[in-house]
Amino acid sequence: MPTSSQDPAPLLPSVARGDAEAFDALYERHASTLFAVLLRILGNPEDAREIMQETFVQVWNRAAQFDPERGNEIAWMISICRNRGIDRIRSRKLREIRESQAGIEISRRGPSVSVSTGAENVLRTEEQKLIRRALEDLPAAQRTALELAYFEGLSQSEIAQQLGEPLGTVKTRMHLGMKKLRDGVKQLYSK
């Protein structure tokens, strides 16, 4: 794999002008390097492919921001993919923490039952039904933000970008949604 200093010409200026052929050449030139970086960060080929795709979308959208005075193309692109990879790890860890906390909270507030393996499955199924019902009762915008965060592992910034909403709006929706979800689950348990 040649490095950017050995490349015949930088491609990002052409990509910034909307040149799809330059973008294809940029992809061919650097995709394997970016994939290797992401695979090392994430340890999962599926996540690495997904983040690599997101990286190239960001490169296409922000190619005009590339400053050759500050570094070469591959360094700029590695910086983008590394940041996105780290964001994925953070969102994955945050999701795991939230799911764990939600499970603890639900089990603390749920009815006290002496469980066997079969009873655990029934209880888990009932808890899932309660959570789904509580989610359905949320306003659509709050439900969407929470689903993107918890089921797709997106950060609040990624949700804001995907929905085309301000970050503050997404944070508020998620905060209110979580509060309503907790209250809704409490009410469903008390029925």
The dihedral built from the CA positions of residue 6, 28, 84 and 48, taken in this order, carries a sign that is: negative
Residues of the chain with CATH 1.10.10.10: 110-190
Helix or strand (DSSP H, E) at 43: none
pLDDT of residue 114: 44
* Residues 149-185: b if buried by 16+ CB within 10 A, e if exposed: bbeebbbbebbbeebebeeeebeebbebbbebbeebb
The class level of CATH for 110-190 reads mainly alpha
What is the rounded CA–CA span in Å between residue 53 and residue 56? 5
- Backbone φ and ψ for 154, nearest 5 degrees, come out as -80, 145
pLDDT of residue 145: 86
The CATH number assigned to the domain with range 4-87 reads 1.10.1740.10
Residues of the chain with CATH 1.10.1740.10: 4-87
pLDDT tens over the chain, length 191 residues: 444 445 457 899 999 999 999 999 999 999 999 999 898 888 889 989 999 999 999 999 999 999 888 888 888 999 899 889 888 888 877 777 776 766 665 555 555 444 445 656 555 666 667 667 777 888 889 888 887 876 667 788 889 999 999 999 998 988 888 888 777 766 665 66
DSSP, collapsed to helix, strand or coil, labels residue 112 as coil
